[in-house]
Every structure is written in C-alpha cells, then in structure tokens.
Amino acid sequence: MSDIRIQKFPLQQLFDNKRGDSKLTRKYCNLHKGDYPVYTGTTIGDFTSIDTYAFTDPNLTYTTDGVNAGTVEILIGKYNVGGHRAILIPKHSDLCIEYFENILQPIFKSLVKSGNVPSVTWNNIKDIGIPVPVDKSGGFSINYQQEISQRYNSLKARKLKFLDYLTQLRESYINIPVEGYTYAEKWLKDIFEYKRGRSCTKAYCNQHKGHYPVWSANNIEPLAMVDFFDYEGSYISLSRNGIAGKITVLDGKFTINEDRFLLIPRVDNIDYDFIKYTVEPILRSKKKGRAGHDGENEFTKLSFTILDGIKIHIPIKSDGSYDLEAQKENIPKIQ
C-alpha cells in the first residue's frame, strides 16, 4: 500500500445525485400498504411500507431536510426512497459505497443549513472535495477503500460494545424489595388509560407557532412550540419511537404527536416516579429495532398494544387500595 495516496475529488465527479420520489406521502402510502419499506428523511429507519418497490441494489443515500438532515445511510433489500432523501449513484465501478458512508457523514452534517427546517442540498455539496485513495497511476483504489471501511467498522463495533456496557449501567434498575410491604400484581391496563398523540408534523407546527410544546419521540426537548395545546396538568408519557419506552413526566400545557403515549390513571394514589422506575425497564427490554449507543443513533419502536401485556407489582393497603406512601418510600431504593 506504499503507492497509495489520498486525493480530493469534487463530489459530483464521483456520484450522480437522484432525489427520492415525492409522491410517497403519508396519504399515498396509506392507500398502498404492503411489505416494502419506504425510507424518507423525516424519520430514522423506515417511514412506512407499501405494496411496490423501486430499488433492489444497495444504495448510498442521505436525508435532505428535517431534523435528520445530512444523515448518510446505505439502504439494502427491496425498498423505496421518499422525497426527503436523495441517492448518490457512483459514476465509477471502483468506488466502495461503505467507504463513502463513513467519509461523507461528518462532512454532510457539517454542511447542514440551520433554520426552521434544517437542510442539505446537492448544490451546496456537489463541489466539496472528498478524499479518495488513489494508486500510483491515479486510479481509484477500491481495495484500500475497503480496508479503510473495515477499520471504521472495527472502531464502530468497539464503540458499540463500550456504549452497550454504559447503557446497561445506566439502565440497571434495582429490584423493588418486598419486605415490609404488601404488594399486588396488576395489569397496567387496569391502572391506566392510554392516550395516543395526534398527527402533528413539523410543517403543521411551523404554521401554528406559539408558546406550547409539542412532544414527539425526543424525551429531552419538544418537536416545536405551537399556539394550541391538548393537555394541561401533570402526565406520565412514554416514547413509542426513537429511544422507545423512555418515560418522561410532562407538566403544564402541551400536545403530543403519534410518536408518544400518555398514561392517564384510572385509579387514585399512583406515584408517577414509582411508575417510571417500575415500568420503564420493562418497556426498554421489549423494544424492537436498531440498538442504541447511549441514545445516539438508536431507533427502536414499541407497539401501542404492548402495554396490554404488562403486569407490575404495586404496594397496596389492607383494604386493597393503592398505598401511595409505600410507593414513594420505594423510589430512593429503586434509584
């Protein structure tokens, strides 16, 4: 490999850019439900599935706008690409898309234009110089691209392992001791009514800007601030997508969208913190999807019906009512 050197080439000299199909809206997809995923830019992972597919070859893609703008990903299988994503088609047979997935990701993220709708456009990235290994004759070295890609994958695997340990430590919930308390096993559906969020897109929120938060899959900050609210008060909420199963207590005036549930007590004397530290580890153990790295790049899901199959142990009094004080006394032990 002593004859290998790195040379920069404009992105448009390496790839053609093809935008996804803008007809693949939520409405269109709902009318053509099937088994083939649609990848767009508004979500990490697939958007939905339809009854046809447009691609079967692996393709290097990136999201063009939205909160995930600039995210580079290789898509495989039989699939479709929506309007908020673009495909980079190699112009040369000796270009390794796995190499470019790693190289382009930090570059694209650094070029995302901020604003109400973050974006990265082909016009803004097509002339950026991209480092590519070349041999002594000036040709692209696909072997060295593959070697570098393998090194990236090795580093990713080690990082994943380390972050998995870190996640296990952070999500190591201590079992609730049963000594000194009377417990009952209860179905979660008997304690709570479930409320699912409304359809509330970023575009809709931008048309109704205000002071009330809309909570989505993100457990740290709201999707947007709008001029309306659906709920007022303190509620247990949990994320359905993203870092699925995380419980956040929301307080004040707010709205939730389809990526979040509310748990509304059907009974009295329920401590929200007790529920969080009891139910959250159960939900996190049932999540499906791409594993997380301390929340980074995780995309997991929970079905709405998953809550129907969960039982918890909760302290009760001698008359069978829920023991609020016992729940509160257990919180320090759980944490």
Over residues 197-206, the pLDDT tens digits come to 888 888 888 8
- For residues 243 and 220, state if they share a domain: yes
- For residues 291 and 151, state if they share a domain: no
For residue 122, give both structure tokens: 């082909």
User: What Cα–Cα distance (Å) separates residue 78 from each residue in 35, 50, 173?
Assistant: 9, 11, 40
Of the candidates 284, 286, 335, 292, the residue with the CA atom closest to the CA atom of residue 166: 292
Torsion (CA) 72, 77, 78, 83 in degrees, nearest 10: 0
Of the candidates 305, 325, 306, the residue with the CA atom closest to the CA atom of residue 315: 325
- For residues 121 and 230, state if they share a domain: no
For residue 279, give both structure tokens: 């139910």
168 lies in some domain: no
Of the candidates 221, 220, 332, 219, the residue with the CA atom closest to the CA atom of residue 277: 332
209-215 and 247-256 strand pairing: parallel
**7-56 per-position pLDDT tens digit:** 999 999 999 999 999 999 888 998 999 999 999 876 566 678 899 999 99
Domain count of the fold of the chain? 2
Most confidently predicted of 98-102, 168-172, 173-177, 320-324 = 98-102
Torsion (CA) 230, 241, 76, 156 in degrees, nearest 10: 130
Q: Print the domain residue range for 54.
A: 5-159
Of the two residues 233 and 295, the one the predictor is more confident about is: 233
* Percent of the chain's residues with pLDDT above 90: 44
97 lies in some domain: yes
CATH number at residue 116: 3.90.220.20
**55-84 per-position pLDDT tens digit:** 999 999 999 988 788 999 999 999 999 989
- Domain edge (last residue) among 136, 159, 182: 159
- Domain edge (last residue) among 130, 159, 188: 159
Q: What is the rounded distance in angstroms from the CA atom of residue 300 to the CA atom of residue 291?
A: 7
Please state whether 133 falls in left (phi above 0), alpha (psi between -120 and 50) or beta: beta
pTM as predicted: 0.53
- For residues 154 and 181, state if they share a domain: no
111 lies in some domain: yes
Of the two residues 226 and 294, the one the predictor is more confident about is: 226
- For residues 155 and 177, state if they share a domain: no
291 lies in some domain: yes
93 lies in some domain: yes
Q: What is the rounded distance in angstroms from the CA atom of residue 35 to the CA atom of residue 48?
A: 9
- For residues 117 and 205, state if they share a domain: no
- Domain edge (last residue) among 111, 137, 159: 159
Confidence at residue 201, expressed as pLDDT on a 0 to 100 scale: 81
* Percent of the chain's residues with pLDDT above 70: 88
- For residues 123 and 190, state if they share a domain: no
- For residues 301 and 328, state if they share a domain: yes
Of the candidates 289, 266, 268, the residue with the CA atom closest to the CA atom of residue 190: 266
- For residues 196 and 137, state if they share a domain: no
Residue at token pair 């083939």: 36
For residue 160, give both structure tokens: 């994943």
- For residues 237 and 123, state if they share a domain: no
- For residues 145 and 248, state if they share a domain: no
- For residues 310 and 242, state if they share a domain: yes
